[in-house]
Structures are given as C-alpha cells and as structure tokens.
Amino acid sequence: MLHIINKSPLVNSTLADCLRVATGGEILLIEDAVYAATKGNAFEPKLNDAMKRFKVYVLQPDLDARGVGDRIAAGVTAVDYGGFVDLTVNNKNCQSWL
C-alpha cells in the first residue's frame, strides 16, 4: 500500500498517525510533509525508525519549492511527478492521510 502524506509533521499528527496504524508499505511525502524528509528536523529520528518498516519517498518538486531540495535525509528516495505516478500504479491501494 502507498501512504500519501501532505501535512508537515511539525504542525500536524498525520504522519505520526500513519506510522502508528499502518503495518508497512511505502510512504510518499508531498506538499508540506516533505519537511519530514529533511536532515536535522525534529521528526528525523521517527522517520529513521519508520524506514525499518516502510520505503520512504519524497516529491522532489515540493522539496525544491520549499527551498530544501538539497537537505534530503539519508534513506529517503526523491521522485519527480513521473515517479509519483509510478508509485500509484505499482501499489494496489493508495491511502491519502488527511
């Protein structure tokens, strides 16, 4: 399953809720959720722990739009819009966490 998160974990519990409830799959961070994929943020330790159960992706255009495209955390894979489409096609189910 692909879990799509669009809210920053620094101001919203959506990503934490996903990590607490979901049992595995892939996570795609988009919009303000991309802040979770940056080096040195307060959520980085939780994301590192989550990468034991999930493959984590981040939308590169959203990183770039926020000026943090060069601060991607280790273990996170950046994708473009084509990669976003590939992730949705390659996963039987997609869950957008609001």
Q: Is the pLDDT of residue 48 over 90?
A: yes
Average pLDDT on 65-83 reads 97
- d(Cα 61, Cα 19) in Å, to the nearest integer? 24
Find all residues with CB under 8 Å of 45, minimum gap 6, and list them. Answer: none
- d(Cα 5, Cα 26) in Å, to the nearest integer? 11
- Read off the pLDDT of residues 2-24 as tens digits, 9 standing for 90 and up: 999 999 998 999 999 999 999 88
Average pLDDT on 41-67 reads 95
DSSP 73: P
In contact, 9 and 36? CB cutoff 8 Å: yes
Domains of the chain with bracketed CATH: 2-97 (3.40.1260.10)
Nearest to 18 by CA among 72, 54, 45, 59: 54
Q: Is the pLDDT of residue 52 over 90?
A: yes
Question: pLDDT value at position 98?
Answer: 87
* Residue % of the chain over a pLDDT of 70: 100
Question: pLDDT value at position 74?
Answer: 95
Question: pLDDT value at position 71?
Answer: 95
